[in-house]
Chains A and B, each alone.
Chain A
Amino acid sequence: MIKLLTLFCLPALVLLQSCAVDGNAPATSGAGVANPELHALMAKRINVLISQMDALMRDQVRTETELDQARKQNAIRIADSAAELQRAAGQIMAIQPKLALDANDAPVFHALAVRLRGQGAELEALAKRNQIDALRPAMARTKDTCMSCHTMFRSR
């Protein structure tokens, strides 16, 4: 009996301990510190959250209102990550001078970074408005921007 109680009490302690830690906060790199990989991390996180949203649309056990709440929480996480994605796009713009791009490439790089920031804003707005069906197409457009930029500049 004591062993069984211990078995159940340990997870309770872990649960309470986690109150102090926000495990859902996006992994940021710290204020003002440029991290070129941050946008990739955020894009990946948004992709995973959108897939989880798809799974929530297929859930058959929870009640409709429970699912609405779970979808809303997921949408908030997507909005948070999209906001982080915009900050990451800003960091990309900030590091542009260090890349020593020529007069032809610089405007293209800048335009793609601006586009990424705009698409992050679009994702954030959609998630905040709980427009679940529009999230995946918006993310696909963001992915296109990432691909364009990587194709043109990653090797340089």
Chain B
Amino acid sequence: MHIILRVSIFFLIALPLAAFADDDVKSLLKELRDQVIELRAQVRQSNARINELEQSLEQEKTRKEAVEITAASEQPASVQGQPTPVSNVVTAGDVKGTIKLPGSNTSIGFGGFTKLLMMYSDVNIARNKWGHQDLYGADIPVGSSHQSSQFNMHAKETRLWFKSFTPSDFGDINTLIELDLNQSADSYTPRLRHAYGSIGNFLAGQTYTTFTNTAALAEMDAATAATGNILVRQPMVRWTQPLSSTVDAMFALELPSTKFTRGSGSAIENLDDDRFPDLVVRLNNTQDWGNISLAAMARNIRLKDAANNIDASSWGGALSLAGRVNVGDRDNFRFMLNYGDALGRYVVSGTFADASYDSSTHHIKLNTMYSSTLFYQHYWNPIWRSNFALGYAHADLPSYVNQELTRDVFSAHANVVWNPVPQLNIGLEYLYAMRELQDGRDGDLNRLVFSTRFNF
């Protein structure tokens, strides 16, 4: 009993005290929680302020840059890196790669490249033939006597050019002289490729025939051009008349040169006795997507050989539809289709004659021909590219001609070119070419070409 009483008294005193202690702890916790909430709010405020200040700083920076760029762009052109002409110093020219001489309005430039071709062919071609160093339709061997492989190297495509540009009241004056070392098949004699001047719309001198749309030419940077290309350079006078901002018409008088075969002879002769220039008209349309052109040519084919009592002539014509279509940023597709009875010497240089002379009737027959080139240039990336080309040419010759004259020429090309810097091109190309004669016999050529080209 005594013990029970003591325990009861203990609980009566201890329980209220415990209740008081619990209230204190709760109060303390509440106080702490309020403080944490307040601190959190302060941190949020601080972060917001920091963000605000950072944004202001960024805005200020952007604004300053924009103001600087705007101010720079509003300056007159002469202030922006265009130095005021000084009479006693050499300055940059008006076109890329040229300089202006002191006190002169003429920009002059020179350049060129050294080029090495190294080639392995599965047939052999005589050293004094063009086909030994280049793709040359007439030299593709037919018959078993050439069936031994051949290795060759040369640097004859090395080139040098000089140009000038002068603005004038009558239009821009341009001149160009370009040489290579390809005058003959078995020497390094310099050859004049281009030599012409132009003022405004007028051009005079030697350059690519107006019949060719040069933008549509297949360019096999490693080796040579495809078979169907028209790659004739000759003296001319030319007028280019703009018809709109995208279309122009060209009118040209060019050097005539009749090439013919006599009776059943196999030689392609040239008597240089022409009376009329080759007349060429070309219509060009240049757009963002590329360009397209249509050319027409009229030629007087004339044979005059008093010693053999030959005096015959005939007018012939030819048409060429050519173009270049840009594909994507850099790739492009090019084509050239040519047809006519005056194409002869213009197609596959030296392979076809313009006319066939019939010795028995003393008449000439113009050789109807057609040729075409298809080309695609693909850039794998800015420094690697490949070119693919197909070329074909065909001549309808009369039955009385020599049966060993060429009737068809075909070529297919594929290459890869490495162009790491503008000054260097290294290429590897495979080409297949085929020639068929009048009598149906044919011969083909497989060639692997390695090339280096150093531009300056």
* Neighbour of A22 across the interface among B67, B111, B245, B385, CB < 8 A: B245
Question: Does A22 contact B244, Cβ atoms closer than 8 Å?
Answer: yes
The answer to whether B285 and A18 touch across the interface, beta carbons within 8 angstroms, is: yes
- Stretch in B71-79, B119-127, B134-142, B350-358 touching the partner: B71-79
Q: Which residues of B contact A49 (CB under 8 A)?
A: 288
A155 in the interface (beta carbon within 8 A): no
**Is B161 positioned at the interface, with any CB of A under 8 Å from its CB?**
yes
4 closest cross-chain pairs (CB), A and B: A121-B73, A118-B69, A51-B329, A111-B66
Chain A residues with Cβ below 8 Å from B329 are 47-48, 51-52
Provide the residues of chain A in CB contact with B63, threshold 8 Å: 107-108, 111
Q: Chain B contact residues: over half helix, strand or loop, or mixed?
A: mixed
Q: Does A15 contact B (CB under 8 A)?
A: yes
0/1 string, A117-147, CB within 8 A of B gives 1: 1110110010011111100000000000000
Pick the contact of B70: A7, A72, A117 (CB < 8 A).
Answer: A117
Q: In the complex, are the beta carbons of A125 and B73 less than 8 A apart?
A: yes
If A65-B175, A104-B56 are given as contacts, then 6 extra A-B residue pairs at C-beta distance below 8 Å, sorted by A number, are: A8-B319, A8-B321, A55-B330, A64-B109, A111-B66, A130-B96
CB-nearest residue of chain A relative to B115? A60
Q: Please tell me the number of chain B residues within 8 Å of chain A, measured between CB atoms.
A: 67
Are B176 and A63 in contact, CB atoms less than 8 angstroms apart?
Answer: yes
Give the total of A residues in contact with B, Cβ under 8 Å. Answer: 58
Chain A CB within 8 A of B207 CB: yes
Offer 7 A-B interface pairs, CB within 8 angstroms, sorted by A. Answer: A4-B339, A15-B293, A52-B326, A63-B194, A63-B208, A68-B95, A111-B63
Q: Which residue of chain A has its CB nearest to the CB of B98?
A: A68
CB B96 to nearest CB in A, in angstroms, measures 6
In-complex Cβ contact of B62 among A58, A66, A112, A125 (8 A): A112
- Cβ of A60: which chain B residues have Cβ within 8 Å of it? 219, 221
A115 touches B69 (CB 8 A): yes
Cβ proximity bits B339-383 to A, threshold 8 Å, 1 near / 0 not? 100000000000000000000000000000000000000010010
A16 in the interface, Cβ–Cβ < 8 Å?
A: yes
Q: Is the CB of B332 within 8 A of A55?
A: yes
In the assembled complex, the CB of B412 is this many whole angstroms from the nearest CB of chain A, namely 19
Cβ-closest chain A residue relative to B111: A64
The CA of A140 and the CA of B242, in the complex, are separated in Å by 35
Residues of A within 8 A of B288 (CB): 23-24, 45, 48-49, 77
**B176: chain A residues within 8 A (beta carbon):** 63-65
Verify A18–B247 contact, CB threshold 8 A: yes
- Tell me whether B72 and A122 are in contact (CB under 8 A): yes
User: Residues of A contacting B244 with CB < 8 Å?
Assistant: 18-20, 22
A118/B72 in contact, CB under 8 A: yes
Are B221 and A23 closer than 8 Å at their CB atoms? no
Cβ contacts A89-108/B at 8 Å (1 or 0 each)? 00000000000000010011
- B245 touching A24 by the CB < 8 A rule? yes
> Residue A40 at the B interface, CB < 8 A?
no
Q: Which chain B residue shows the least CB distance to A117?
A: B70
Chain B CB within 8 A of A114 CB: yes
Contact with A along B55-68 (1 / 0, CB 8 A): 11011001101110
Whether B174 lies near A115 (C-beta < 8 A) is no
